[in-house]
Amino acid sequence: MASGIQFDENQNFDPIPEPVLQPPTFADGLLKSGVISKPGDAIALLAVFALILISASFYILISSVPQPPTLGSDMLRPGEQVPSYVK
């Protein structure tokens, strides 16, 4: 019989951690497509894109405000007369 054999399964046993899959980031996609050369460039690209979008939205908001009416030169319409007290 194997009565002299003992197993100590918990002594200094560190299991190998299982790898956890990370979802691809936006920078990974830009690297694979060749738009950027370093992952740090993605931040700069996003900042420029955000600035363009914010500027475009301000332009659209400002251009949607109607211009105040302006009066043109005074002209008499057909049939109108200037009163005598104005002359």
- Who's near 27: CB < 8 A, 6+ residues apart? 36, 39, 42
CA distance readout (Å), 49 to 35, 44, 56: 13, 9, 11
Question: Is the pTM value of this prediction over 0.85?
Answer: no
Q: Where are the domains of the chain?
A: 39-63
pLDDT band at 13 (very low <50, low <70, confident <90, very high): low
| Alpha-helix runs per DSSP H in the chain | 26-33, 41-64
Q: Are 18 and 34 in contact (CB under 8 A)?
A: no
pLDDT digits (tens, 9 = 90+) for 15-58: 788 889 989 888 888 899 988 888 888 899 999 999 999 999 99
Q: In this structure, are residues 26 and 42 in contact, taking their beta carbons and an 8 Å threshold?
A: yes
